[in-house]
Amino acid sequence: MTRIRFIQFRSILAIAVLSSFLISCSTQASSKYFGQTKVPSDNILRYTTGSEPESLDPQFVTGQPEARIMMAIYDGLVEYHPKTMEAMPAIAESWELNQDGTEYIFHLRKNAKFSNGDPITAKDFVYTFRRGLSPELASRNANLAYYIKYSEAYNSDRSFVKNADGTFVRKADLEEKKDAAPQTTTIAPHDTVGTDTEFHKYLDEPERLSVPSDAKERAKLTDKDAKLKAAIEGKELVPVKAEDIGVEAIDDYTFRIKLYQPAPFFLGLLAHQFFRAVHQGTIEKFGKDWVKPANIVTSGPFKVVTHKPYDELTVTRDPNYWDAANVHLDGIEFYPLDEQTTMLNLYKAGRIDATYNHTIPAPWNETVRQFKDEYSLHPEAAVEYYSLSVKKPPMDKINVRKALALAIDRDALAKFRKTIKPLVDFTPEGIFPKYEEARRKVYTEELAKIGSNLDEWKARKFDPEKARKLMTEAGFPVQQSGSGYSCPSFPVDVVNLTYNTAESNQKVAEFVQAQWKQNLGITVPLKNMEFKTFLPFRSAVEYTGAVRNGWVGDYMDPFTFLNLFYSPQNDGATGWWDPKYDKLLDDANKETDEMKRYEILARAEFYVMQQQIVIPLGTSGTSWVKKPYIKGMYPNPGTLHPWKFVYIERDQNKWNVAMDDIMTTEDPQVEAQIKALTATQVEAQKAKTTPQPETQEKTKTAKAE
């Protein structure tokens, strides 16, 4: 007996010793850097970008992990600015936009080459765009290009309707004649470059009607719309072909894109991997296997060497790349990793040099934050929010929605989650400074109309008193009970707070649940779902109550967020739709003056926030680490790094730049590189005498001079 006790005691002792050892090693932060910090002997960056990439096909892949890899191996017309993510010249050395903002002309550089040495011409971009939009590829990103003329019609397999006389039925033919524009619309003057092709003229005609090519789908539409039925009855259907899309190679080095309506953010969108150049010959020769390392032909600063799925993807500098002289790294090793802890362990052990955003688990933030030359926490173009099922009781009552939103202490939530900033609006804070300026102005006006002011608006971060009042007004009286509150009439048995399985989602949900319990006396049950089960559940608004949601901006414009509530099939997952809101957004995009456009967008945001169809929780923060010797990598709003700016600094004296100041600290090498790259576009602008509608890019470079 005694011996057994002794053994038990010994094993307990061993655990105690081990744990005290763990505590002691975790609390010491005496060293200047986090874990092992040794400059690698080779000039290769070891990076983790998250999960295994689905493919190396830029038109096919969708995720953020893939985006960073695609940026290394493919180049597009434009590239992201390493700090601001605005568009800057890449294969296009300059571009111009016509007066009404619907036509872009890109001038390509003549020395751009694929990794096999073939030149990259405007024809390659025509191929790339057409390929991305082809229904056979079935890319999930195709809708990014839907602003381009007839791209949606081609991608969704629609047909034009041909009259007997050879002309085509136009969209306007179906609209009410009284306010329809006359058929002979005067076409806005174009900055014509080269000769207009026949094809180009067709694109400038009034928009043609297109109907689904599939008879069943078409019948669905014509059954509902007698007018449409009459318009297409007995007429020839001409399928929309790839050639009908509004992209065109005017000559080998001039590329034109035509849009339906102005989309001021479109230029920024073109840096997306979906628009990066691919090599037609390779794809046609190898079919699905073209992305295998042995076959793949790429267009970016790096080319693929090996790809061992779930293990590593190595890329090396491509000597054929047009800007190869300014690519500083010899190569990059991408490690596909899924677990945050694993990434942090590898980083701490000095086996990776940098991680991507959201890789520091919340509890680790305080510890890692001490290493200020390594840890980045900057606002992101991403928001977290809860969608509410506004069509189902009790969430159909606006006061219930407002009360629930007011009863969450967002400052405490931000403090608890460490990486988010409190948010009461829908667009992220600190990402679009100009928009925020416009928004302040609009909000002040609008709030004055309803006898309120900006301070009161900001107080919506947390106002339990008002929350209780609103909840009571909504017919669910909140009573004092003991030290807390109770709200017995609130139907907690029908509502849920649903989220998909992830530790951070769970923690936030538990926090919010506790807040509602404390401040309103309502215990909303939590419901956790496996991701793929969760997605259809959320998007079909099958839930009742609230559901976890989040959005990462596709491009640097508030529209990417506000667009979430646009159209009846919107992605807000609330069941809410309002044509008034749609109209505001349409108006905004027709506006070419930047500030005026922002003001209209702000009105739209105010409108939707008044409805409180969602509960904003916070603006996401970047939360990642890089070793101090890695330079040229910036915490931009999307954590997307143009890799040619990244380099390894061997001089230890130049290592220490606090990440908090990194956006304002000028790195001479990076600044010079940016300046050299943007020079072509700046000069092209100067050469032009006609004033252009300003894009963010241009004002910025103008200011710099």
Partner 1 sequence: MANTEIVKGTSLWKDAWQRLLKNKLAVFGLIVLALMVVAVIVGPSIIYWINGFTADGIPQDGDLIKSFPPSLQHPMGTDEAGRDLLARVLQGGRISLMVGIISTLVSLVIGVSYGAIAGYLGGRIDNLMMRLVDIIYSIPYILLVVVLLSVFGGQNTPEWIQSLSAAFGGAGNQGLNQIFLLFFALGLISWLTMARVVRGQILSLKNQEFVLAARATGVSTLGIIFRHLVPNALGPVIVYATLTIPSVMLSEAFLSFLGLGVQAPYASWGSLAADGVKNIGIFPWQMIFPGVTMALTLFSLNFVGDGLRDALDPQTRKF
Partner 2 sequence: MLSFIIRRLLIIIPMALLVITLTWGLIRLAPGTFYSTEKKLPPAIEANIKKKYGLDQPIYKQYLLMLGNITCRTKSADEEVRSGVQFSIGSLDFKCFDFGDSLKYPDRSVNQIISDHLPYSATIGLLAYLLALVLGLGAGIVAALKQNSAFDYGSMTFAMLGLSVPNFVLGPILVSVFSLTLYWFPPARFGGIMSLVLPVITLSAIYMAYIARLTRAGMLEVMRSDYIRTARAKGLDETTVLLKHGLRGGIIPVLSFTGPALAALLAGTVVVEKVFAIPGLGNMFIQSILNRDEPLTLGIVAFLSIMIMVFNLIVDISYGFLDPRIRYE
What tokens were used for 602? 């702000």
Number of residues that bind partner 1 (CB under 8 A): 41
Task: Name which of partner 1, partner 2, none residue 363 binds, using a CB cut-off of 5 to 8 Å depending on partner kind.
Answer: partner 1
CB 567 within 8 A of CB 577: yes
Q: Give CA 558 to chain center in angstroms.
A: 11
* Site track for partner 1 across 634-673, x = CB under 8 A: ----------------------------------------
Q: How far is the CB of 121 from partner 2 (least distance, A)?
A: 26
Give yes or no for residue 606 binding partner 2 (CB under 8 A): no
**Residue 325 interacting partner from partner 2, partner 1, none (CB closer than 5 to 8 Å by kind):** none
The answer to whether 610 and 565 have CB atoms below 8 angstroms apart is no
- In the bound state with partner 1, the residue whose beta carbon lies nearer, of 118 and 510, is 510
One residue of 49, 52, 407, 558 binding partner 2 per CB under 8 A: 52
Q: Is 31 in the site for partner 2 (CB under 8 A)?
A: no
Asked if 412 touches partner 1 (CB under 8 A), the answer is yes
- Amino acid identity, position 670: V
Q: Across the strands, what pairs with 625? A: 375
Residue 33 site contact among partner 1, partner 2, none (CB < 5 to 8 Å, cut-off depends on kind): none
- Torsion, Cα 67 69 70 74, to 10 degrees, reads 150
Regarding 346 and contact with partner 2 (CB under 8 A), the answer is: yes
Contacts of 1 (CB under 8 A, 6+ apart): none
Q: How far, in Å, CA of 299 to CA of 117, rounded?
A: 10
CA distances (Å), 418 to each of 357, 421, 431, 496, 623, in order?
A: 14, 8, 18, 25, 9
Name residue 316's beta-bridge partners.
Answer: 303, 331
Residue 285 sits in the site that holds partner 2 (CB under 8 A): no
Give the CA-trace dihedral at 334, 340, 346, 348, to 10 degrees: 130
409 binds, among partner 1, partner 2, none (CB under 5 to 8 A by kind): partner 1
Residue (of 11, 80, 159, 21) closest to 554 by Cα position: 80
Q: Is 1 in the site for partner 2 (CB under 8 A)?
A: no
The sign of the CA dihedral 121, 123, 129, 132 is negative
> Among 155, 159, 299, 498, which residue sits at the site for partner 2 (rule: CB under 8 A)?
155
Q: Cβ 533 to partner 2, closest distance in Å?
A: 5
Residue 361 binds partner 1, judged by CB under 8 A? yes
In the complex with partner 1, the residue whose CB is nearer, 363 or 550, is 363
d(CA 125, CA 145): 13
Using CB under 8 A as the binding rule, whether residue 411 contacts partner 1 is answered as yes
CB 357 within 8 A of CB 599: no
Q: Pick from 47, 60, 275, 581: which binds partner 2 (CB under 8 A)?
A: 60
Residue 106: closest CA among 262, 260, 322, 271? 271
DSSP, res 401: H
Q: Which is nearer to partner 1, 136 or 530 (CB)?
A: 530
536 binds partner 2 (CB under 8 A): yes
Smallest Cα–Cα separation from 243: which of 283, 197, 304? Answer: 197
The region of 19-27, 53-61, 286-294, 351-359 touching partner 1 under the rule CB under 8 A is 19-27
Output the smallest distance, CB 469 to partner 1, in A.
20
Which of partner 1, partner 2, none sits in contact with 526, Cβ below 5 to 8 A by type? partner 1
Q: What are phi and psi of 325, to 5 degrees?
A: -65, -25
Part of the chain binding partner 1 (CB under 8 A), chosen from 126-134, 520-528, 548-556, 580-588: 520-528
Residues 295-354 that bind partner 1 (CB under 8 A): 340-341
Q: Which range binds partner 1 by CB under 8 A, 397-405, 409-417, 606-614, 615-623? A: 409-417
Give backbone dihedrals phi and psi of 425, rounded to 5 degrees, phi first. Answer: -100, -170
Distance (Å, whole) CA 673 – CA 669: 6
Query: How many binding residues for partner 2 (CB under 8 A)?
Result: 66
Q: Is 535 in the site for partner 2 (CB under 8 A)?
A: yes
- Distance between CA 549 and CA 534 in Å, rounded? 11
**536: partner contacted, choices partner 1, partner 2, none (Cβ within 5-8 A by kind):** partner 2
Q: Which stretch binds partner 2 (CB under 8 A): 120-128, 132-140, 174-182, 682-690?
A: 132-140
Whether residue 428 has a cis bond before it, omega within 30° of 0:
no
Tell me if 135 contacts partner 2 by CB under 8 A.
yes
Q: Which does 292 bind (CB under 5 to 8 A by kind): partner 1, partner 2, none?
A: partner 2
| Sequence-separated (6 or more) residues with CB below 8 Å from residue 362 | 416, 417, 418, 419, 504, 507
CA angle 435, 440, 443 (to 5 degrees): 115
- Which of 223, 338, 503, 671 touches partner 2 by CB under 8 A? 338
Q: Which stretch binds partner 2 (CB under 8 A): 1-9, 408-416, 518-526, 601-609?
A: 1-9
For residue 36, the minimal CB distance to partner 1 (Å) is: 14
Measured distance CA(425)–CA(617) in Å, rounded: 9
Helix (H) / strand (E) element for 215: namely helix 215-224
CA distances from 628 to 147, 348, 653, 656, 673 (A): 42, 13, 11, 6, 21
Taking the complex as a whole, the smallest distance from the CB of residue 111 to partner 2 amounts, in Å, to: 31
| Partner touching 456 among partner 2, partner 1, none, CB below 5 to 8 Å by kind | none
What distance in Å separates the CA atoms of residue 109 and residue 114, rounded to the nearest whole number?
13
**E strand or H helix at 546, and its extent?**
strand 545-552
Structure tokens at 214: 């599939």
DSSP class of residue 113 equals: B
| Residue 271 near residue 557 (C-beta atoms within 8 A) | no
The item of partner 2, partner 1, none sharing an interface with residue 697, based on CB under 5 to 8 Å by kind, is: none
Nearer to partner 1, 194 or 484 (CB): 484
Binding mask 348-387 for partner 2 (x = CB under 8 A): xx-x------------------------------------
Closer of 171 and 308 to partner 2 (Cβ): 308
CB of 292 or CB of 458, closer to partner 2: 292
Question: Is 506 a binder of partner 1 (CB under 8 A)?
Answer: yes
Site string for partner 2, 562-601 (x = CB under 8 A): -------x-x-x----------------------------
3-state DSSP assignment of residue 73? helix
- Regarding 486 and contact with partner 1 (CB under 8 A), the answer is no
Tell me the backbone φ, ψ of residue 438, rounded to 5 degrees: -60, -35
- Between 502 and 658, whose beta carbon lies closer to partner 1? 502
468 contacts: CB under 8 Å, gap ≥ 6: 403, 407, 478, 485, 519, 520
Binding partner 2 (rule: CB under 8 A), the pick from 1, 2, 25, 198 is: 25
- Cβ-based nearer residue to partner 2, 68 or 107: 68
Q: What does the block give as tokens for 591?
A: 């506006």
What is the rounded end-to-end Cα distance, in angstroms, of the chain? 86
Q: Does 183 bind partner 2 (CB under 8 A)?
A: no
Ranges within 365-404 binding partner 1 (CB under 8 A)? 367
Q: Considering only residues 372, 507, 698, 700, which one is a binding residue for partner 1 as defined by CB under 8 A?
A: 507
Residues that bind partner 2 (CB under 8 A): 3-4, 7-8, 11, 18, 21-22, 25, 35-36, 52, 54-57, 60, 62-63, 135-136, 138-140, 142-143, 146, 152, 155-157, 287-289, 291-292, 308-311, 335, 337-339, 341-342, 345-346, 348-349, 351, 530-537, 539, 550-552, 569, 571, 573
